[in-house]
């Protein structure tokens, strides 16, 4: 684990939630990076095991809602916290020859897995990979037609800064789409989901990936993330218009959409 100031007093006095723990804001990203560098090699397998494959359907839904153009006209997507490339791969496969993607992620280990997958899919020509922080994207204003972030935003230290960056890099008329775990409000399904989250997932992590800790963080960070309406308000506060959301599987996950108008 990172030796950053995780247990010491916060230098700025600010804290951030790392799962159920409050840590110094300066230490938060280092702790998150430790989680993803530890799981990168097994990330795709664990996603399937933990969600029973549901994450694939949710990602298909995100790309279907984006509806990438089928034409040869240039259309530029930035997929932030893109990890091993699930969203960018789907987008390039669904869209026409004009669709190009930039995948950016703070973890070199996750991006390295993604690079291999794009090569295997024969899509390396239409994607660029960049190491970058969602809170300070290394791209000029108004560069992209669409911005996606899937299961990424709950990991950033300052969600408002990441949303501000999303707005900044989108062209006028550009689309923001965020897929994230959310609040399940279906009776019984919520109980089942709690049991799965707190009893099954950490054990699966211990068995399949050798450690329960990163998976405990993943589960806890999901519960700390703002619910559907509150997150929609945060998206509006960043400047987006026509904000709406769709629940997936009873609200276990949700896709939020907004436009830079
Ligand atoms: C749960 S994974 C999601 C990966 C991919 N989008 C998917 O849906 O499979 C979360 C990703 O967020 C990345 N991440 C965490 N904090 C970040 C930040 N501040 N900026 C950019 N990426 C970040 C992690 O490195 C990790 O790859």
Residue among 151, 142, 184, 177 at smallest CA distance from 163: 177
Q: Calculate how far, in angstroms, residue 83's C-alpha sits from the geometric centre of ligand 1.
A: 5
Tokens of 62: 């995100």
Q: How far is the CA of 76 from the centre of ligand 1 (A)?
A: 20
| Atom 27 (ligand 1) nearest CA | 83
Tell me which of 40 and 249 has the higher pLDDT.
249
Report pLDDT for 2.
37
**pLDDT one-digit tens code per residue, 40-80:** 888 888 889 888 999 999 999 999 999 999 999 999 999 99
Tell me which residues have their CB closer than 6 angstroms to ligand 1. Answer: 29, 32, 36, 80-83, 86-87, 105-107, 110, 133-135, 150-152, 155-156
pLDDT of residue 258: 98
Mean pLDDT over 21-36 rounds to 91
Q: Is 6 a residue whose pLDDT tops 60?
A: no
- What does the pLDDT read at residue 49? 86
* Structure confidence at residue 215 (pLDDT): 84
Per-residue model confidence (pLDDT) at position 12? 64
- The answer to whether the predicted template modeling score (pTM) of the entire model surpasses 0.85 is yes
User: Mapping DSSP to helix (H, G, I), strand (E, B) and coil, where does residue 254 land?
Assistant: strand
Q: How confident is the model at residue 255 (pLDDT cuts 50, 70, 90)?
A: very high
pLDDT in tens, 199-245: 999 898 888 777 888 888 888 999 999 999 999 999 999 999 999 99
pLDDT per residue as tens digits for the range 123-177? 999 999 999 999 999 999 999 999 999 999 999 999 999 999 999 999 999 999 9
Residue 257 burial (CB count, 10 A): 19
Q: How far is the CA of 28 from the centre of ligand 1 (A)?
A: 14
Calculate how far, in angstroms, residue 244's C-alpha sits from the geometric centre of ligand 1.
23
Pairing of strands 253-259, 241-248: antiparallel
Residue 50 corresponds to which tokens in the numbers above?
């933990």
- Measured distance CA(88)–CA(94) in Å, rounded: 10
Residue range 117-122: average pLDDT?
Answer: 97
- Asked if pLDDT for residue 1 goes beyond 70, the answer is no
Instruction: Please give the pLDDT value at position 11.
Output: 56
pLDDT greater at residue 42 or residue 96: 96
Is a pLDDT exceeding 80 seen at residue 249? yes
Output the pLDDT for position 8: 45
Q: Nearest-CA neighbor of 223 among 179, 189, 180?
A: 180
At 128, list the tokens. 């660029």
**Residue 103, strand partner residues:** 79, 129
């Amino acid at each position: 684990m990172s030796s950053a100031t995780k247990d010491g007093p916060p230098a700025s006095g600010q804290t951030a939630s790392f799962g159920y723990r409050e840590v110094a804001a300066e230490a938060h990203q280092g702790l998150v990076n430790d989680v993803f560098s530890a799981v990168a090699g097994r990330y795709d397998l664990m996603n399937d095991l933990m969600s029973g494959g549901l994450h694939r359907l949710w990602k298909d839904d995100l790309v279907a809602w984006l509806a990438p153009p089928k034409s040869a006209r240039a259309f530029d997507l930035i997929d932030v916290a893109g990890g091993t490339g699930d969203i960018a791969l789907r987008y390039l496969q669904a869209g026409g020859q004009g669709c190009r993607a930039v995948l950016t992620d703070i973890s070199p280990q996750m991006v390295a897995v993604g690079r291999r997958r794009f090569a295997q899919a024969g899509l390396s020509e239409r994607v660029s990979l960049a190491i970058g922080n969602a809170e300070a994207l290394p791209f000029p204003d108004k560069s992209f037609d669409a911005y996606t972030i899937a299961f990424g935003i709950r990991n950033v230290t300052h969600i408002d800064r990441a949303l501000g960056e999303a707005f900044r890099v989108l062209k006028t008329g550009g689309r923001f789409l965020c897929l994230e775990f959310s609040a399940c409000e279906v009776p019984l399904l919520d109980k089942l989901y709690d049991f799965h989250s707190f009893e099954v997932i950490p054990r699966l992590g211990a068995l399949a990936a050798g450690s329960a800790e990163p998976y405990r963080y993943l589960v806890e960070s999901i519960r700390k993330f703002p619910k559907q309406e509150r997150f929609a308000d945060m998206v509006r506060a960043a400047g987006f218009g026509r904000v709406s959301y769709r629940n997936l599987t009873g609200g276990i996950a949700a896709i939020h959409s907004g436009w830079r108008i």
